[in-house]
Amino acid sequence: MNPSLLELVAKKLTATPPDVQGVRRLVLASCHSAGVLQRALEESEFEPPTAASRQKGSDAPDVWLSSLVIKGFRGIGAPMKVDFEPTPGLTLVLGRNGSGKSSVAEGLETLLHGDCSRLKDKPAEWKKGWANVHWDGAVEIEAEFRLEGQSECAVATRRWESGDEIDSADLELRSLGSRGESAFPSRDLLDKYRPILSCGQLGRRLERRPADLYDELAGVLGLHELVDAQNALRTERVERKRRCEQLEDGRGALLETLSGSEDARVVTCREALLQQPWDLDAIGAVLEGRSDSTDELNRLRLGAELEIPSTQALDQARIELQTALVRQKAADASDAGEQRKLAKALREALALYEHMGEGPCSICESDGVWDEAWRSRAEARMRDADAAAAEAHKLAEEVRTLATTVGELSSFLGSEELALAQHLDVDPEHIQAIAAWLATQKQDGSPSRLAAELKDAAPSLLRAGAAVRAAAVKELNQREEGWRRVVDAVRQWLPRARAAVTADEAGAVERLVEAEDWLKTASSELRADRFAPIAQEALKLFQEMRENSNVSLREVSLAATGGRTRRRVQMRADVDGEGGTYPALSIMSQGELNVLALSLFLPRMMLAEAPCRFVVLDDPIQSMDPHKVDGLARVLGRIAERRQVIVFTHDPRLQEAIDRLGIAATYLQVTRLPSSAVEVRRTSSPVEKYLEEANRMLEPEVVRDVGDEKLRRIVPGICRLALEAALQRSARRRLHADGKPSEEADRILAKAKAAIALASLTLFARADRGSEVAAEFVERYGDCGRAYEDVNGGAHGNYDGALKQLVRNTRNLTRRLEEKS
C-alpha cells in the first residue's frame, strides 16, 4: 500500500481501535497483501508492519529538466534546442499560435509518455502528419534531465524513422552512471504523475464521467488500495466461511449417519458433536479406543470369549471329589486328630520312661508296669497312630485339591456374566440358573455340598453359559457392524474439524467481518484524510485565482459509495458568499471552470511522491478574464518557489501580470521562421528587452552590417517601445497606488492606449493632460526626460542627435519611472 495511506490507516487504528481483539492486525495485514493477511490469520504472534518503505515506484531520484532538443516533430523542422534552468523557478515560453510553442510542449510530452494528450483518443486522421513536412530525416526528441543529488545527468531520447507511427518509438536512456535505468523514474510513475498539463481541453476534463474524474484525481493517492484491502478481507472471509459451512454440513451428515445406533462409541461421538463447542477429544479417544464407552464393549468381548467347561470334565471332577469324600469318610473312623494326639502322648510317655526307668506307671498310678515290653508296645502304637494321622491328612488334602478344581471349573459364570446375561436379555431360565448357582456359592462352601449341588446344577449352568456367550457374540457382531459403517465418516471429518478448530476458523471469520466493517466505516474518512492535501491546495489555488469572481469554491471531496462502483469528485461552490452551496460545475462560467480544473490538477503534480520536479502547463489561460490572470501569475510564482514551472502561452497577459506583480521569471520567446525553423530566444521584461535590442543595434558589428542610415531610423523606434512599455507599467502602478481597483484600472488603461495618455496618467494620474507631458518630463527628470520627445520624433525618422545618448536617456528615464512608482 502507498506508504502515506498506510500511515493514515495505522493512525486511525490507534485513534479508533476496533472493538474485537485481533481485528487491528487483520486490517493492517490486509493493507499489505493477501499473503500478509493469511500470515496474520495463521500466526497469532505475527504483527504486520505499520509503515511501508517509501516507494517512489523505484527509488529513482527526482528529476529536473535541463534541456530539450526536437527535430522534425510537428511544427518543428530543423533541430531546435531549448535550455531550461533545472532548479525551482518560473519559465514562460511565449509564442504566437502556430509559432511552434505547442510543438515544444507536445514534444516533451511525447518523449516522456510515448503519446500526446492532444492526439490521444482522436480519430486516425489527427494522428497523421505529426512528423514535420519540412524535415526529411529521422524525427528525434531528446531531453536532458538533472538528477537530484547525482553528479550524472540522464538523457532520454525517442527516435522515429520516416513512416513510423507516433506511438512506436521506445524511450532510450543514456548517461545514467552506475545506477543504470533505475536512476530515472519508471514509465508507470511518469504516467501516474504526468508532469505536463495540456490546458486546451482542461475545462472539458471536468465534464467527463464522474468516475473518470475521480480516478484521475485519486489515482495517485492509491485509494483503490483501500478497496483492494477490503477485497482481500472479503476473499479470506468468504473462503473461511465456506470451509466452516462445509464442516458444519459435514457434521450434520455425520449426525445423520450416527443416528440409530446405540453403540456407546457412536453415542459418545453423537453427544460430542452436539456439544458446543464440539468435544473433538472425546471423538478422538473413541477412535483410538481410549474411551469409557469401550468398557462395555470389553465386557461384551469377554462374554463372547467365555470359556465353558465340557460336561465330561465337570462330571469327572465332581465324581473324583465325591470318591475322595467317601474315602475320607471311611478314614474318619480313626480320626486323624485323635491319632496325632495319641502319638504325641505316647511320645511323651516314652520319654518319661527313659527318664524314670522301669517301675509302676507314673501317669495312671494303676497297677500297670512300665517295662521293656510296655515300651515295645507303646512304640508300636505310636508308629501306628502317626501313620493313621498321616493317612487322614493326605485324604483331606486330596479332597481340598479336588474341591478347588471343581470350584474353578464351575465358576465360569460369575456376577459379571449374570449382569451381562441380564443386559443382553438372555432367557430368564438361564439368568435364574446363574443367579441361583451364585447364591448357593455364597453360602457354606463344603466340598461335599459343592459336589452335590453341582451334580444338580451343572446341566443348566452349562446351558446358561452357552446362552450368555452366544448372546454376547451376537451383540458384539451387531455393534461392530454398525461402528464399521460410521467410523470412516468420523475418521474423515475429525482431522478437518481439528484443523478448523486449531485455526479458529469461526473466530477468524468473525474477526474478518469486524475488520471489513471497520475498514468500510473508516474508508470515507481515510479517503478524506488522504485527499485533504489536494483538496486544501485546490481550494487555496481557486481562491488565489478567482479574483473578483463571485463564485467561491467551498468544498472538494471524494465520494465513493459501494466500493469502486459509485465514485465521484464532489465540488460545491457558493455565490457571493451567501448561504448555501451548489454543485460547482453547474454555476461556474467557462473561465471559472478552467480555474477550477487547474486548481484540481495542479496539486496532484506537486505531491511529494511525484518524481518530476518540473511542472509544464501548456496554455493555461483559457477564457480567463484579466483578473484571473493575475491570480494565476501569483499561483505560478508560489509553485515556482519549490518547482521548476514551465508555462507555454500565446497570451501576453500572463507575462504582463508576472512582470507587473514583480514575480521572478525567465522568458523564452518562440519565433517561427520560414521552413519550420523555430527559434527560441531568452528574453527579459518588455522594457529590458527593448533596451537590450536598442543597445545591441549600437554594437560595432551591427553598425557595420546595418549601416548608420538605417540605424538612425530604427533605434529611436525601439527606444520608444521601451518607453511605452515602461509607461504602461508605471501608469497601472500609479492607478493602483491611487486606490483604483484592478477592474477600473483596466478600463482606464484600455482607453489610454497612446503613449501620451499613459504618460499623462503616470505623471498626473489622469489621461487628459497630454499637452503638458513633454515639459513635465524635462521638469521632473532633467536630461533623461528629453528622451520622451526624442523617441517620439525619432520613431518617424526625425532624430539628429547621438543614438548612444538617446538609448542612455531612455534607459535612465525608464529607471526613474520605475523608481517613481
Partner 1 sequence: MTAASRLLRHARECLDLEVLGGELRLRACALLARQGLESAVAASLRELGVEGCKLAFRTQLACLRHLAPPTLRVRRVSYTWVALSHVTHYHGYEMPPTAEAMENWLTEAEVLVAMLQGAGHAAA
Residue number with CB closer to partner 1 (394 or 653): 653
Q: Which of 17, 35, 49, 98 binds partner 1 (CB under 8 A)?
A: 98
- Residue ranges in 656-695 that form contacts with partner 1 under rule CB under 8 A: 656, 659, 669, 671-674, 679, 681, 686, 690, 693
Q: What DSSP designation does 741 have?
A: -
Could you count the other beta carbons within 10 Å of the beta carbon of residue 14? Answer: 10
208 counts as binding partner 1 under rule CB under 8 A = no
Residue number with CB closer to partner 1 (557 or 671): 671
Residue number with CB closer to partner 1 (410 or 683): 683
736 counts as binding partner 1 under rule CB under 8 A = no
Q: Which of 95, 603, 770, 785 binds partner 1 (CB under 8 A)?
A: 95
Q: Which of 330, 369, 702, 775 binds partner 1 (CB under 8 A)?
A: 702
Residue number with CB closer to partner 1 (174 or 682): 682
How near is the Cβ of 538 to partner 1 at its closest, in Å? 29
Secondary element (H or E) of residue 705: helix 700-706
Please give the size of the binding site for partner 1, defined by CB under 8 A.
43
810 counts as binding partner 1 under rule CB under 8 A = no
In angstroms, the CA 381 to CA 370 distance is: 15
Residue number with CB closer to partner 1 (335 or 693): 693
- Provide DSSP, 165-201: -GGGPPPEEE--GGGGGGGS--HHHHHHT--EEEGGG
* Nearest residue to 392 via CA among 452, 350, 445, 342: 342
- Residue ranges in 228-247 that form contacts with partner 1 under rule CB under 8 A: none
In angstroms, the CA 347 to CA 389 distance is: 14
Could you count the other beta carbons within 10 Å of the beta carbon of residue 245? Answer: 11
How near is the Cβ of 107 to partner 1 at its closest, in Å? 20
In angstroms, the CA 430 to CA 434 distance is: 6
For residue 167, what are the CA distances in angstroms to 86, 106, 170, 388, 811?
A: 27, 13, 8, 135, 51
Which residue stretch of 285-293, 294-302, 365-373, 720-728 sits at the interface with partner 1 (rule: CB under 8 A)?
Answer: 720-728
The residues with which 750 forms a beta bridge, in sequence order, are none
Cell 467365555: give the residue. Answer: 306
725 counts as binding partner 1 under rule CB under 8 A = yes
Residue number with CB closer to partner 1 (74 or 243): 74
Going by DSSP bridges, is the β-strand pair 153-160/139-147 parallel, antiparallel, or unpaired? antiparallel
Residue number with CB closer to partner 1 (13 or 758): 758
Residue number with CB closer to partner 1 (423 or 713): 713
185 counts as binding partner 1 under rule CB under 8 A = no
How near is the Cβ of 706 to partner 1 at its closest, in Å? 6
In angstroms, the CA 568 to CA 558 distance is: 6
Q: Is the dihedral of CA 620, 624, 629, 632 positive or negative?
A: negative
266 counts as binding partner 1 under rule CB under 8 A = no
How near is the Cβ of 633 to partner 1 at its closest, in Å? 12
For residue 558, what are the CA distances in angstroms to 27, 405, 620?
A: 22, 100, 25
Which residue stretch of 144-152, 477-485, 487-495, 702-710 sits at the interface with partner 1 (rule: CB under 8 A)?
Answer: 702-710
567 counts as binding partner 1 under rule CB under 8 A = no
Cell of 634: 501569483
In angstroms, the CA 202 to CA 776 distance is: 49
Three-class SS state of 597: helix
In angstroms, the CA 150 to CA 669 distance is: 31
Q: Which of 122, 485, 682, 753 binds partner 1 (CB under 8 A)?
A: 753
What is the maximal distance between C-alpha atoms in the chain? 208
How near is the Cβ of 764 to partner 1 at its closest, in Å? 20
Q: Which of 721, 791, 807, 817 binds partner 1 (CB under 8 A)?
A: 721
Q: Which of 3, 22, 210, 717 binds partner 1 (CB under 8 A)?
A: 717
Q: Which of 313, 706, 737, 775 binds partner 1 (CB under 8 A)?
A: 706
Amino acid 143 reads: A
For residue 684, what are the CA distances in angstroms to 631, 636, 637, 667, 800?
A: 21, 17, 16, 6, 29
469 neighbors 308 (Cβ within 8 angstroms): yes
Q: Which residues are CB-neighbours of 553 under 8 A, at least 6 positions away? A: 538, 539, 542, 543, 546, 571, 572, 573, 584, 596, 599
790 counts as binding partner 1 under rule CB under 8 A = no
Q: Which of 155, 169, 535, 795 binds partner 1 (CB under 8 A)?
A: 795
How near is the Cβ of 758 to partner 1 at its closest, in Å? 9
| Per-residue interface string for the shown chain with partner 1, residues 622-661, x marking contact by CB under 8 A | ----------------------------x-xx-xx--x--
Residue number with CB closer to partner 1 (97 or 502): 97
Which residue stretch of 49-57, 254-262, 313-321, 710-718 sits at the interface with partner 1 (rule: CB under 8 A)?
Answer: 710-718
Q: What DSSP designation does 612 have?
A: B
9 counts as binding partner 1 under rule CB under 8 A = no
How near is the Cβ of 701 to partner 1 at its closest, in Å? 6
Residue number with CB closer to partner 1 (22 or 717): 717
Could you count the other beta carbons within 10 Å of the beta carbon of residue 592? Answer: 25
Which residue stretch of 205-213, 564-572, 701-709, 779-787 sits at the interface with partner 1 (rule: CB under 8 A)?
Answer: 701-709
Residue number with CB closer to partner 1 (86 or 631): 631
**CA 663, chain centre distance (Å):** 46
In angstroms, the CA 72 to CA 107 distance is: 10
Where does 692-772 show beta strands of DSSP type E? none
In angstroms, the CA 512 to CA 504 distance is: 12
Residue number with CB closer to partner 1 (426 or 633): 633
697 counts as binding partner 1 under rule CB under 8 A = yes
How near is the Cβ of 722 to partner 1 at its closest, in Å? 8
How near is the Cβ of 801 to partner 1 at its closest, in Å? 17
Residue number with CB closer to partner 1 (95 or 611): 95
In angstroms, the CA 821 to CA 812 distance is: 14
58 neighbors 35 (Cβ within 8 angstroms): no
155 counts as binding partner 1 under rule CB under 8 A = no
Cell of 593: 471552470
Residue number with CB closer to partner 1 (61 or 95): 95
187 counts as binding partner 1 under rule CB under 8 A = no
- Residue ranges in 407-466 that form contacts with partner 1 under rule CB under 8 A: none
Half-sphere exposure of 477 (CA within 13 A, CB side): 8
743 counts as binding partner 1 under rule CB under 8 A = no
Q: Which of 336, 714, 745, 784 binds partner 1 (CB under 8 A)?
A: 714
Which residue stretch of 7-15, 139-147, 331-339, 722-730 sits at the interface with partner 1 (rule: CB under 8 A)?
Answer: 722-730
Residue number with CB closer to partner 1 (414 or 797): 797
Q: What is the 3-state secondary structure (H, E, C) of 380-403?
A: HHHHHHHHHHHHHHHHHHHHHHHH
| Per-residue interface string for the shown chain with partner 1, residues 65-94, x marking contact by CB under 8 A | -----------------------------x
Residue number with CB closer to partner 1 (89 or 652): 652
For residue 483, what are the CA distances in angstroms to 181, 278, 283, 296, 476?
A: 71, 20, 13, 14, 10
Q: Could you list the residues that contact partner 1 (CB under 8 A)?
A: 94-96, 98-99, 650, 652-653, 655-656, 659, 669, 671-674, 679, 681, 686, 690, 693, 696-697, 701-702, 705-706, 709-710, 713-714, 717-718, 720-721, 724-725, 728, 753, 755, 795-797
